[in-house]
A and B are shown apart, each in its own frame.
Chain A
Amino acid sequence: MDRVTKLASQRAVVIFSMSSCCMCHTVTRLFRELGVNPTVVELDEDPRGKEMEKALARLLGRNPAVPAVFIGGRLVGSTDKVMSLHLGGNLVPQLRNAGALWV
């Protein structure tokens, strides 16, 4: 869990992912489209991936634990939440606030 928090606060946008997960790919792709350069942590490629996955699952309150999106060190949520924010026009302002977007 500590590791999750640590990694999450290192960059403006951090996405916990797994290389086999297609929804993670979707979310990452969306951020890139918006002009953000997210930091992607592939849990299946990290030695402590399992622990982190469990911690994230608890944090999100659901399975699968990925994708888990953090903006400005704070947990935003998974695909549903990100989509909802974006359609409501609230994602981009949040990204600006976190310094992930300059435009």
Chain B
Amino acid sequence: LQPAATAYYGELEEALIHGTCTSIDPSMIGSDVDTECKNKTAFSTTPLSFNPNLNHLREGLLSLPPFPQHHRERAVEKTFNSICMYAAAGYLAARPPTLEIFPSWPMNHLQQPYSVSTGSISSFTGNSHSVGSTTDSSSGQNAMPQAELVSPGSMRADSGQQQEVLMVTVDDYNYEEGLGAAATTAPIFQQHTADQDRRKHGSTRKEGKLLDAKTERRLAQNREAARKSRLRKKAYVQQLETSRIRLQQIEQELHGARSQGLFPGGGSASGDMSSGAMMFDMEYARWLEDDSKHMIELQGALQAQIMDANLVGIVEECMRHYDELFHLRAMLARADVFHLMTGLWATAAERCFLWMGGFRPSEIIKMLIPQLDPLTEQQTLGMCNLQRSSEQTEEALAQGLQQLHQSLAEAVGTSPLSDGANVANYTALMALALDRLDTLESFYRQRVLPSVTFPLKLPIMQADNLRQQTLHHMRRLLTTRQAARCFLSVGEYHRRLRALSSVWASRPRESFVAAAENVSPSGTAAEQAVHPYHQSQFSGL
């Protein structure tokens, strides 16, 4: 189970998905349109051979002078079309696998308006109509209007203002409605289109025929729809790109923090987790963040050798912070005791040394005593007694849990139906139950599991109680400075375990056989790394 990371990632993923599909900023679209509207026809003299180089395109766009809106030349409009198209095409061509929606560029010369199909292209020879969409251009639709793919055709030199247009076909590409902002730009283009259509200059169009108003209107609508879809596509792609970069940044940050041991890593798919577990994981991640801040504060305070009076505040804060953790754990024990017990909230190395869902107090005390030198005789006695009392309590708790395990095993292993006298009935019932596993499951759930799993939280919660009380007792035994060193050591110990897990997780993978051969001599890397903790002096102590 991925702890906070997955939950976080899950949320991030969702946000991204929704963000890119639903919240394309209308103002962004608007501004894009404005920018491009400002581009003049000067651009029109350049042949637009298909160039997937986005930067080239960008430069081209940026170099253009502003585009006055009152311009109604057809060429101007086409230029705008071309720019939109290229922008989209460029973006998309530069994005290989993720945006497979854009097919390759077959060359297909058609001069008629046609309904769209993926991969079909028509060349435009001085035509501005985008025969993209047969669907209504109103923004009330979810289905992606289709544009076509048009190959570069020959350019008309005479008008100097007519361009070939490359349009891109997109199939099954859903946009959210909110892109109605595109609709605001529509009227302008519709006007352009209408004007241009009226001023035909006798240019060839649809095999020389003049079209009636109805067809004209339909064509205009198609053009408009295609235009809008191009704009949306562009905006979407831009957003995707931004999000991609942002995601990379976040991933890097997280990876950096993990390898420092500041965050837990590892876990399984979030789908399995109960809501209580997920909530805990998130809270725990935040707790760890705060914990590392406290550690830094402690270290700074100790090194600066500040007055005890000031150090007390920090130490009390640390204690309170641990109390908070135990509170969170108690809530988790009630919500999902297995998550707590099995340590899915922890990293792999931590999990390895888990005792009843957490640290073993006597082990911690044992680790701390040599680091707290010098201790008074009274303190030493107190600490040793605390260690022993803790050990005894730990043993008793473990025994209690074991008794619970046994009763659970008995309950699950033995069928409650088992009635020596009525074997036939029992067998029949069992057969029936086995046939329908869900029945069996519910049967067990109703009779057996609650009576056993409910009390499971008791020894676990008592274990947490033990941990909490041990910490408080230690605090009372020690001076402020000593207590500060304790908190620092405990925090550092766990941080190193987490860092170890992270390093272990990112080790170069060997083949299974080779790894197996290498196992025996060195023992577990985790053990080896942990043992030095008992002797080593932590920095700052």
Which of B382, B396, B455, B465 touches A27 (beta carbons < 8 Å)? B396
- CB pair A25 B395 closer than 8 Å: no
- CB pair B404 A22 closer than 8 Å: yes
A83 within 8 Å of B (CB atoms): yes
Residue-by-residue, is A76-103 near B (CB-CB < 8 Å gives 1, otherwise 0)?
Answer: 0001100110111100000000000000
**What's the Cα separation between A83 and B393 when bound, in Å?**
7
For B473, the chain A residues whose CB sits under 8 A away are 87-88
- CB pair B392 A22 closer than 8 Å: no
B442 within 8 Å of A (CB atoms): no
- For the side of the interface on B, what is the size category? 20 to 34
- CB pair A83 B462 closer than 8 Å: yes
For A84, the chain B residues whose CB sits under 8 A away are 469
Summarize B's interface: helix, strand, loop or mixed: helix
B470 within 8 Å of A (CB atoms): yes
Which of A20, A23, A26, A30 touches B407 (beta carbons < 8 Å)? A20
For B465, the chain A residues whose CB sits under 8 A away are 80, 83
- CB pair B385 A25 closer than 8 Å: no
**What's the Cα separation between A89 and B399 when bound, in Å?**
22
**What's the Cα separation between A88 and B386 when bound, in Å?**
8
For B462, the chain A residues whose CB sits under 8 A away are 23, 26, 79-80, 83
For B395, the chain A residues whose CB sits under 8 A away are 29-30, 33
Residue-by-residue, is B399-414 near A (CB-CB < 8 Å gives 1, otherwise 0)?
Answer: 1110110010000000
Summarize A's interface: helix, strand, loop or mixed: helix
Given contacts A29-B395, A34-B392, contact A89 B385 (CB under 8 A): yes
What is the distance, in angstroms, from A82's C-beta to the closest C-beta of chain B?
Answer: 9
Interface size on A, residues (CB 8 A): 19
Which of B382, B393, B470 touches A30 (beta carbons < 8 Å)? B393
For A30, the chain B residues whose CB sits under 8 A away are 392-393, 395-396
For A26, the chain B residues whose CB sits under 8 A away are 396-397, 399-400, 459, 462
- CB pair B393 A86 closer than 8 Å: yes
Given contacts A20-B407, A23-B458, A23-B462, contact A87 B390 (CB under 8 A): yes
**What's the Cα separation between A90 and B459 when bound, in Å?**
22
Specify the chain A residue showing the minimal Cβ separation from B459: A22
B328 within 8 Å of A (CB atoms): no
For B389, the chain A residues whose CB sits under 8 A away are 86-87, 89
**What's the Cα separation between A29 and B396 when bound, in Å?**
5
- CB pair B407 A29 closer than 8 Å: no
Which A residues from 53 to 78 make CB contacts under 8 A with B? none
What is the distance, in angstroms, from B464's C-beta to the closest C-beta of chain A?
Answer: 11
What is the distance, in angstroms, from A32's C-beta to the closest C-beta of chain B?
Answer: 9
Q: Which residues of B contact A (CB under 8 A)?
A: 382, 385-386, 389-390, 392-393, 395-397, 399-401, 403-404, 407, 455, 458-459, 462, 465-466, 469-470, 473
